[in-house]
């Protein structure tokens, strides 16, 4: 297992975690076996957004005395009063459900997540009311370690991050979602199946979100990496052929600021299959051939895949591009930490000899030489 820093929380989380949604209403034996498999492969972060008391108690029981080996994402605002997964901003309801999860998991939740910030109304009822004050007080009391939120909408996510309150975000990420316009409801595609008519290439608002998170130290935990299995399906994938599990995982882990991907495994076998990502070759992880064949593709956008390597003068091109994309958010006010990271590189944009080897290998026709010159101009 690989462990990554979750933004400015300072916590190191497993690059592959576990989303527990699909274990809801499953037999305890199955829950126990899946969680044991997760612990066996080194998973140390799990998401528990489900509001039901039984599933939460089963998870806590399965963890047993290993609770302290796992960081839990628990969600404020998740309830099941009107339906299975209901969103509530009613404060007595919010407190009731969150106090239950606190009790079940030993009085402490590592990451207290504001649940489902997808619409303007969601944002206002969370960040402009006593809801966020409740979250802040929980952190001050030591009941939660860090404040985060979950979202599927890049515009609302950017709005939430710019309040300065969250330290992490749970966001839906996969290559198909990243090609949808930011105004589209990604969850509709999980219900109806993917079609190609809406895909416009890498959505600039999503790209902006990922680089904003990197610049502000907002760690990302990623949900829906497999598109609920649709990206693995010949029938439902929007691409010329289905992606594999390692390709989906690798795509998500290559996004800026992503610390952990949380697939919704519901058996021990599925958990071991996902964790096999660390055992496969680079070529088996490579997603570029599949997504570069999309009719409306990622042309001109760096996806940090490192196909351009090796560089004769040893520039880490993907890393330079990542820092450059962050700098482009506001060229007049580049975060000092990003400047520092860039200047610590052993080879920089100014070292580029314009040989062009990288551009001949790039699947997305990125003008790498021009980008290296821009990086040198901005950072050096």
Residue 333: the pLDDT is 87
Looking at the structure, do residues 9 and 102 belong to the same domain, yes or no? yes
Full residue range of the structural domain in which residue 350 is found: 317-379
CATH number at residue 205: 3.20.20.100
Residues 261 and 348 in one domain: no
In a domain, residue 307? The reply is no
The domain boundary, picked from 282, 299, 332, lies at: 282
Could you tell me if 259 and 346 lie in one domain?
A: no
Query: Quick one: what percent of the chain has pLDDT higher than 90?
Result: 74
pLDDT confidence of residue 200: 62
pLDDT (0 to 100) of residue 298? 67
State the average pLDDT over residues 225-239.
86
Asked if residue 298 is part of any domain, the answer here is no
Are residues 263 and 327 located together in one domain of the fold? no
In a domain, 291, yes or no: no
328 lies in the same domain as 271:
no
Residue 296 maps to a domain: no
Name the percent of the chain lying above pLDDT 70: 95
In this structure, the answer to whether residues 177 and 100 fall within a common structural domain is: yes
The total of structural domains in the chain comes to 2
What pTM value is reported for the model? 0.86
Domain final residue pick, 282, 302, 332 = 282
Asked whether residue 306 is assigned to any structural domain, the reply reads no
Residue 266 and residue 339 share a domain: no
Indicate the range of 200-214, 241-255, 286-300, 364-378 predicted with least confidence.
Answer: 286-300
For the segment 16-21, the average pLDDT, to the nearest whole number, is 96
On average, the pLDDT of the chain sits at: 92
Q: Are residues 108 and 184 in the same domain?
A: yes
- Above 90 in pLDDT, residue 305? no
Query: Are 260 and 363 part of one and the same domain?
Result: no
Three-state secondary structure string covering the chain:
CCEEECHHHCCEEECECEECHHHCCCCHHHHHHHHHHHHHCCCCEEEECCCCHHHHHHHHHHHHHHHHHCEEEEEECEECCCCCCEECCCHHHHHHHHHHHHHHCCCCEEEEEECCCCCHHHHHHHHCCHHHHHHHHHHHHCCEEEEEEEECCHHHHHHHHCCCCCCEEEEECCCCHHHCCCCCCHHHHHHHCCCCCCCCCCCHHHHHHHHHHHHHCCEEEEECCCCCCHHHCCCCCCCCCCCCHHHHHHHHHCCCCEEEECCCCCCHHHHHHHHHHHHCCHHHHCCHHHHCCCCCCCCCCCCCCCCCCCCCCCCCHHHHHHHHHHHCCCCCCCCHHHHHHHHCCCCCHHHCCCCCHHHHHCCCCCCHHHHHHHHHHHHC
Instruction: Kindly report, residue by residue over 186-226, the tens digit of the pLDDT.
Output: 877 776 666 656 666 778 899 999 999 999 999 999 999 99
256 and 346 belong to one structural domain = no
């Amino acid at each position: 297992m690989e462990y990554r820093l979750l933004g400015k929380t300072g916590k190191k989380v497993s690059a592959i975690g576990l989303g527990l949604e699909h274990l809801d209403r499953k037999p305890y034996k199955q829950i126990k076996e899946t969680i044991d498999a997760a612990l066996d492969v080194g998973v140390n972060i799990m998401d528990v957004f489900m509001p039901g008391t039984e599933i939460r108690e089963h998870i806590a029981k399965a963890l047993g005395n290993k609770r302290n080996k796992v960081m839990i994402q628990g969600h404020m605002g998740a309830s099941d009063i009107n339906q299975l997964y209901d969103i509530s901003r009613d404060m007595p309801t919010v407190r009731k459900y969150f106090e239950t999860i606190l009790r079940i998991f030993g009085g402490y939740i590592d990451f207290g997540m504001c649940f489902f910030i997808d619409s303007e109304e969601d944002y206002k009822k969370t960040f402009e009311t006593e809801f966020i004050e409740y979250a802040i007080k929980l952190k001050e009391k030591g009941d939660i370690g860090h404040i985060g939120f979950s979202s599927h909408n890049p515009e609302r996510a950017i709005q939430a991050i710019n309040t300065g309150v969250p330290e992490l975000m749970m966001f839906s990420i996969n290559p198909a979602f990243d090609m949808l316009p930011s105004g589209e409801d990604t969850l509709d595609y999980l219900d109806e199946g993917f079609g190609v008519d809406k895909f416009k290439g890498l959505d600039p608002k999503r790209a902006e979100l990922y680089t904003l998170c990197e610049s502000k130290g907002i760690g990302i935990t990623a949900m829906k990496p497999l598109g609920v299995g649709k990206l693995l399906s010949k029938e439902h994938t929007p691409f010329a052929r289905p992606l594999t599990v390692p390709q989906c995982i690798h795509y998500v882990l290559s996004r800026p600021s992503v610390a952990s991907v949380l697939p919704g495994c519901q058996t021990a076998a599925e958990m071991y299959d996902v964790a096999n990502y660390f055992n496969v070759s680079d070529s088996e992880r490579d997603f570029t051939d599949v997504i570069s064949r999309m009719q409306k593709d990622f042309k001109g956008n760096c996806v940090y895949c490192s196909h351009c390597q090796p560089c004769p003068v040893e520039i880490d091109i993907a890393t330079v591009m990542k820092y450059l994309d962050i700098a482009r958010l506001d060229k007049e006010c580049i975060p000092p930490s990003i400047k520092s990271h860039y200047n610590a590189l052993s080879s920089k944009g100014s070292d580029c000899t314009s040989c062009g080897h990288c551009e001949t290998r790039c699947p997305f026709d990125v003008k790498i030489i021009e980008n290296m010159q821009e990086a040198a101009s901005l950072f050096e």
